[in-house]
Structure 1
């Protein structure tokens, strides 16, 4: 089973080496790392070239935002299974992709996901929030549940059947995609009860009040367009984050 890890990056020289290193250090052998750069101007591309290895496939070209870049990377990917590694994130340990491959040896599963730790931007050993997602069931969607998106690995067939990320969403295309795949597509996901990814705090969707409000509007649009609830679902989605701090 070949696994493609897609990284969309733009001007992330400070963090990209750690993200790439965590993919390169995975013990699972059949890994392709597809790097989609948006035309960085801060030396990101030069740094990637310096540390490149035979697992990496880099393209640098202008794009229309992160979801467009991710879509381009998925189209380039050649793996049987596809997941993401954001340019600010890293795998929690070296056997994450081994666990993904073992779980997906079950042909009844369309994909897998696990748990995630939010970590300090300047110290990835310091945990700020713990996202423990738990096993999936269909009724959890209307309660605002979704799997931690950076931990999700899907068979290529899921993207072929139900489409890529909707780029009309600027912040919440990942939430829309998960609702589309799980709600309308009713794909079957397996749960890996382990921290798979460390994600630095300070993401794009929380950088300002305006972006927080935009994300809430986009989340609500995704909830309604995928037919999984309404304002109550949005409220539960936001309130569920509180327990991650304790």
Structure 2
């Protein structure tokens, strides 16, 4: 399947080359890779030009921010599967092959994210990986995956660089990122996707997020939280008390798999969909727990 990957960039020369090389190295044989540069003045164009013959497209012009750049890139893209990797973040080796296999084998899956949350340090080294416990539609839309939305504990956020979807879902959900969200348009897009399809958590690592001092999500977290909370409010979610939130999150994190059917019957836990690799069958299998 053809996979479209967009990389937006503005004056991130120090990180851009590693990002582009990781995407190109993951090429599964039908990669549609587009880089959208917002008119950088730091030499980013040199990194893009050096790899131009392997790109499907490159744009360099002023834009109205990250999400406007992404909308431009996706408008040019042609892949059946879509996703983006910000300058600084990376794709894992073989990640696009895994994505291709899963979407090809399971037509009922409309979007996926990795269970393996990976982090790079500022130098681009893989320094940390965590496992999350699944993301159900109910748990997301109740705000359990947005730290700070409620007073209690929270679950892992959807890692954007590890999330890919079918173009058909993108079109059903409106075909674009909402530019009224300056920082949290990714979170708002996930909320829209959840109106149409479940999110399947896969067992393979897909992308890695680079932590560095100047990233928008760190510098402007309170504004991001405000916008993401606005998106949840739009879909009817309200913050819960600390006890209710912590109890629900605790069940998701610690309840043994054998007890989960009972918890579901008692309406204490909403099952999350998983796509895991079966070593005996050498294939991707689906489950809910």
The TM-score by the shorter chain falls in which range? 0.7 to 0.9
* Residue pair 1:144, 1:233 contacting (<8 A) in 2 also: no
Distance in 1 of aligned mates of 2:11 and 2:188: 26
Number of the residue aligned with 2:278: none
* 2:144 counterpart of 1:144: yes
Q: How does 1:172-183 map to 2 (within 5 A)?
A: 172-182=184-194
Number of the residue aligned with 1:205: 217
Per the normalisation by structure 1, the TM-score is 0.86
Q: How does 1:36-115 map to 2 (within 5 A)?
A: 36-92=36-92, 94-105=93-104, 106-114=106-114, 115=116
* Deviation of 1:25 (Å): 0.7
SS of residue in 2 equivalent to 1:71? helix
* Residue pair 2:137, 2:199 contacting (<8 A) in 1 also: no
Q: How does 1:210-221 map to 2 (within 5 A)?
A: 211-221=220-230
Q: How does 1:100-139 map to 2 (within 5 A)?
A: 100-105=99-104, 106-114=106-114, 115-127=116-128, 130-139=129-138
Distance in 2 of aligned mates of 1:233 and 1:70: 36
Distance in 2 of aligned mates of 1:32 and 1:150: 16
Number of the residue aligned with 1:156: 167
Aligned residue pair count: 230
SS of residue in 1 equivalent to 2:119? strand
Number of the residue aligned with 1:230: 238
* Deviation of 1:190 (Å): 2.5
Number of the residue aligned with 2:9: 9
Number of the residue aligned with 1:195: 205
CA RMSD of aligned residues (A): 2.3
Distance in 2 of aligned mates of 1:172 and 1:233: 24
Distance 1:33 1:27, change over 3 A: closer
Per the normalisation by structure 2, the TM-score is 0.74
- 1:111-136 CA deviation, whole Å, 9 max, x = no partner? 21113212211241322xx4433333
Number of the residue aligned with 1:165: 177
* Deviation of 1:140 (Å): 1.5
Distance 1:10 1:233, change over 3 A: farther
- In our comparison, the structure showing a higher alpha carbon Rg is 2
* Residue pair 1:119, 1:126 contacting (<8 A) in 2 also: yes
